[in-house]
Structure 1
Amino acid sequence: MRKLLPPVLFLVFVIAMALLCWGMGFSHRIGYPYNLAGLVVAAAGLVLSIAGKNLFKRRHTNILTFNEPDVLVTEGVFGHTRNPMYLGFAIALMGFAILLGGAVSSFLLAGLFVLITDRWYIAFEENAMRRRFGAEYDEYCRRVRRWV
């Protein structure tokens, strides 16, 4: 799983949602046109993820999960959540769950994505950040929450 980057996992979960929701015939709880609200939620999540990515680019820092961190970014969206890209993916998955009709399986998959992200990717990154930035990172963690 170490080679599976978060954006790829996100796409795997979107595809899994569609396959389970439509392919397996799970019941849909949100009908048309109300399910279209999921587009707004998904777009908002993707905008948040992209904002985090773009800030990393502007600061010329590593964005790849398993590479060494080289800059501690604490401004912009990182001033509100330590993981805006993951939070954005999670919000986008909730949007896709709504868009696909609100099948329970879709929401469970979104929850599973959060669990995997929290326990695997974020835990790995936080250990690397703590090793690299020490007390400065600990102070950032005291000021800004992991998710929201």
Structure 2
Amino acid sequence: MNAYRAKPLTYPWPPFFYMAAFAGAVGLGRTLPIAVMHGHGWVPWLSGSLLIILAVCLDVWSVKTLIERRTAVMPHRCSSHLVTCGPFHFTRNPIYLGYTLMMVGFGLITLNPWFFIMASAAVAIMTLFAVRNEERHLLSRFGFEFERYCRATSRWI
């Protein structure tokens, strides 16, 4: 049996990667502040708030879709169905995209550029260590159907 058929990850790392990136952005913002021009008061705050609301809605919609399709929500569990509807119709990783948008939103609210840098780093780390393993898992489980889905749907945006 293919090792990737069993489960994509040994531990649910993705939320911890994003929590570490968030903590890193806060810590770096306090210890190594980057001078930014202050925005027009309410514009970055409103933009960041709307982005965070969008991110939370995307995450909730994604989890709801996975639960409705009776497949694994946690990234270290074996997928029982290939989900291509709901937010998965637009992106293959809507939950991770939601986490990333949330970090960008906090960056806008706090005017801390480290959030943008750490969000970019989190995307790179997620792609290398989680997304590729999940994709190998889905490819071994669903074969051609997953390949067709990958051709039709982008990985992130």
Residue of structure 2 aligned with 1:92, choices 94, 102, 106: 102
**Which whole-Å CA distance do the structure 1 matches of 2:17 and 2:49 have between them?**
20
Flag as ranges the 4+ runs of structure 1 deviating above 4 A: none
1:22 counterpart residue number: 30
2:18 counterpart residue number: 10
**Which whole-Å CA distance do the structure 2 matches of 1:27 and 1:86 have between them?**
29
| Equivalent residue pairs, number | 147
**Which whole-Å CA distance do the structure 1 matches of 2:117 and 2:10 have between them?**
23
Mapped contact 1:83–1:146 kept (Cα < 8 A): yes
Mapped contact 2:34–2:112 kept (Cα < 8 A): no
**Which whole-Å CA distance do the structure 2 matches of 1:66 and 1:112 have between them?**
21
Give SS of 1:117's match. Answer: helix
Q: 1:25 to 1:77 in 2, by over 3 A?
A: same
1:58 counterpart residue number: 68
Mapped contact 2:51–2:101 kept (Cα < 8 A): yes
Unaligned residue ranges in structure 1 (runs of 5+) = none
Q: 1:33 to 1:125 in 2, by over 3 A?
A: same
Give SS of 1:114's match. Answer: helix
Q: 1:92 to 1:143 in 2, by over 3 A?
A: same
1:77 counterpart residue number: 87
Q: Percent identity?
A: 25
**Which whole-Å CA distance do the structure 2 matches of 1:45 and 1:30 have between them?**
24
Between 1 and 2, higher relative CO (CA 8 Å, sep ≥ 6) is seen in: 2
Q: 1:88 to 1:4 in 2, by over 3 A?
A: same
**Which whole-Å CA distance do the structure 2 matches of 1:11 and 1:29 have between them?**
27
Query: RMSD of the alignment, in Å?
Result: 1.8
Mapped contact 2:92–2:153 kept (Cα < 8 A): yes
**How far 1:85 moved relative to its partner?**
0.7
Q: Does 1:38 align with 2:45?
A: no
**How far 1:89 moved relative to its partner?**
1.1
**Which whole-Å CA distance do the structure 2 matches of 1:91 and 1:65 have between them?**
19
TM-score, normalised to structure 2, is 0.84
TM-score, normalised to structure 1, is 0.89
2:4 counterpart residue number: none
**Which whole-Å CA distance do the structure 2 matches of 1:78 and 1:29 have between them?**
37
Unaligned residue ranges in structure 2 (runs of 5+) = 1-8
Greater shift in the superposed pair: 65-74 or 11-20: 11-20
1:62 maps to amino acid? A
